[in-house]
Amino acid sequence: MIKTVDICCGLAWGDEAKGKIVSQLTKQNNYDFVCRWSGGNNAGHTVYVNNKKYKTHLIPSGIFYNVKSVIGPDCVINIKSFFEELDYLKYNNFDISLIKISPRAHIITDKHIEEDINKLNKQQGTTKRGIAPCYSDKYKRIGLQVKDVAELKEYIWNEKLYGNILCEGAQGFWLDINEGNYPYTTSSVTLPYGACSLGFSPKLINNIYGAVKIYDTRSGIDPEFPDYLLDDEELNKIGEVGEEYGVTTNRRRKVNWLNLNKLIYAINTSGVNIVIISKIDILEQVKIYKLYNNYSIVKFENLENMKTYIKSKIEDNCVNVSSIIFSDSPLCI
């Protein structure tokens, strides 16, 4: 029987330190499972364990703390990448027997990847991983499921979740297929309600942790992140000091000032009650303190003034938020 469910989701365009947060939460709490509910190997999580950096793309971060790690039915699986990740984790002495996949997750084929590379990448700036074509076949009801693939047999999870669950989001709120700047979105549900596809009632949800950085970043093509941002000296400085390159593609991320209106909307729509704002140390290093509010740039003399302003705006506009945590990079919560 499931007791409680916690969820960690992104409040921006991905790359918000969700993997690090999940890693910390797993370390601090007694979870029976850590589960991923959407996406495929188009996502990337960077995790620090005993001061050593690890990177994963599909497998949930619970694996770093010997917790059963389940890839859910609304995820898509690249078999080759999955086994490469298993080898990487095994080489680093993690227990890969804890990793399981829902039999109803879908398989990314070579055809999906070819379609992505030849058509969608140029139009939408995709990661070329075949994600969108795979989801397209899923919803056409012509896709291939994990249960139909012999080589994944030993990893199939046919049981039910129980105990205390932590759900790990992929991408972020503004990449959601419904909420994002369509068609410049991902192809799945990134909001916390999507986690219920793992097989639990929303009434069991306890805490929803929302992750965001103190500045905005975006990988790929999106008119809301125009190319001229790459020519802004201050934003470039933040991107360099913050090492803003994609975990999966190593693409340079476009950097912009935190959009407080979008953040507040994402918090309220997601039902987030604990907000974690990371990388505040990056602004401290570059000594630049700005954000957008009501379509205008607001400047601050120091980090403390900026934090106070953000905190007051969230508290005034987000009635469900009980805690706002400001964190350094890589992460301290």
Euclidean distance between CA atoms 186 and 127, whole angstroms: 10
Euclidean distance between CA atoms 327 and 248, whole angstroms: 23
| Secondary structure (H, E, C), the chain | CEEEEEEEEECCCCCCCHHHHHHHHHHHCCCCEEEECCECCCCCEEEEECCEEEEECCCCHHHHHCCEEEECCCEEECHHHHHHHHHHHHHCCCCHHHEEECCCCEECCHHHHHHHHHHHHHHHCCCCCCHHHHHHHHHHCCCCEHHHCHHHHHHECCCCCCEEEEEECCCCHHHCCCCCCCCCCCCCCCCHHHHHHHCCCHHHEEEEEEEEECEEEECCCCCCCCHHHHHCHHHHHHHHHCCCECCCCCCECEEEEEEHHHHHHHHHHHCCCEEEEECHHHHHHHCCCEEEECCEEEECCCHHHHHHHHHHHHHHHCCCCCEEEECCCCCCC
Euclidean distance between CA atoms 204 and 4, whole angstroms: 5
Euclidean distance between CA atoms 32 and 162, whole angstroms: 7
- Catalytic annotation on 15? yes
Of 45, 57, 106, 112, the catalytic one is 45
Of 15, 74, 137, 216, the catalytic one is 15
- Catalytic annotation on 216? no
Residues noted as catalytic:
15, 45
